Amino acid sequence: MRLPPSADILYTTPRGKQILGDSREVLPTLDESSVDLIVTSPPFALLRQKSYGNEDQESYVAWLCDFGREAKRVLKDNGSFVLDLGGAYQRGRPTRSLHNYRVLLAFCDELGYNLAEEFYWFNPAKLPSPIEWVNKRKIRAKDSVNTLWWFSKTEWPKADVRKVLTPYSARMKKLLADPASFYRPKDRPSGHDISAGFGKANDEAIPSNLLQIPNTDSNSHYLRTCKALGKEAHPARFPKELPRFFIEFLTEPGDLVVDIFSGSNTTGAIAEELGRRWLSIEIDRTYATLSAIRFMAGRSVEAVRSAVELLTVGKPLELEGLPLLPESTEIEFDLG
């Protein structure tokens, strides 16, 4: 990889690199068919401008396709591209924008991706919006689901659902304990044969494509450290369980995971923890710099402050890439 003059390696860890640059310029420097998974959350085509910048809804699809085209070139034949896209209302109207569906169609029809499966991220903690339609006029329900398009380069991306099994619900455990009291084996009208074997316990259940993940982080090491340094944390982070699910599902240890809109580098941090190699690209120096905090869990605030200062003036750092501490771990901050 020979970076374009406009991009820099900001920091490295044992398994990854954080690049400061525009992904449209950095992606062309990556080798063809070298990436196992791209998992990312682009700036959304929201109507309200956010501090991290948005493209107009009209040009949004074409803009995202520029990234999608290069992304496809760098993906391995069995590689996947998971795109997290929030929905939006049309400006001033109580009807939805179709941009996330237009992106889906453009990626498949124009760029030649396959839709391996559509996923939905249900965030029960999402605040009601837009206020006008939901809270004031009460004519729309709360929008708490993001679409997650799982694109693949070929029809046979690497995937193993056994790596992301979920615990059974209480009801399912009851059924498995006493299947006969719930149903008798027979053919269903649909033609599906629900045989007695259905009642046999495997360890865990196959997950559905509705991922229920609350985005409620208010006390992580990253957030507390940003606060202690007097810096504003990235305003649009996804929860680490989101990239974790797809990294475990679609890659193996040692594989290369890329995030082309890396923000606070949630993806790189989880990839590091899971033993995958990673490459994250972020265009904003402040966001990219503060993302280094995720790899400095064992350092004092003063040591983090010095490291962040070095990154801010453009001195690349090698970080330990410590495993993430559990969110509940108390970190002592010297705020004096």
Ligand X SMILES: C[S@@+](CC[C@H](N)C(=O)[O-])C[C@H]1O[C@@H](n2cnc3c(N)ncnc32)[C@H](O)[C@@H]1O
Nearer to ligand X, 130 or 243 (CB): 243
| 41 classed as catalytic | yes
In angstroms, what is the minimal distance from the CB of 237 to ligand X? Answer: 4
Kindly state whether residue 152 participates in binding ligand X, applying the rule CB under 6 A: no
| 109 classed as catalytic | no
Of 265-304, which residues contact ligand X (CB under 6 A)?
A: 266, 281-284, 287
Nearer to ligand X, 22 or 273 (CB): 22
Dihedral sign for Cα 220, 160, 251, 115, please. negative
Cβ(302)–Cβ(334) below 8 Å: yes
Packing angle of the helix pair 266-273, 241-250 (nearest 10 deg): 50
Nearer to ligand X, 67 or 151 (CB): 67
Q: How many residues bind ligand X (CB under 6 A)?
A: 20
Tell how strand 193-194 and strand 210-212 pair up.
Answer: unpaired
Of 194-253, which residues contact ligand X (CB under 6 A)?
A: 234, 236-238
Kindly state whether residue 121 participates in binding ligand X, applying the rule CB under 6 A: no
Cβ-closest position to ligand X: 263
For the chain, strand residue ranges (E) read 8-12, 16-20, 35-40, 75-85, 114-122, 145-152, 186-187, 193-194, 210-212, 256-259, 277-282, 317-318
| 23 classed as catalytic | no
Of 13-72, which residues contact ligand X (CB under 6 A)?
A: 22-24, 41-43, 52
Nearer to ligand X, 251 or 265 (CB): 265
Cβ(48)–Cβ(57) below 8 Å: no
In DSSP terms, 83 is beta-bridged to 40, 149
The residues binding ligand X (CB under 6 A) are 22-24, 41-43, 52, 234, 236-238, 261, 263-264, 266, 281-284, 287
What amino acid positions are annotated as catalytic residues? Answer: 41-42, 84
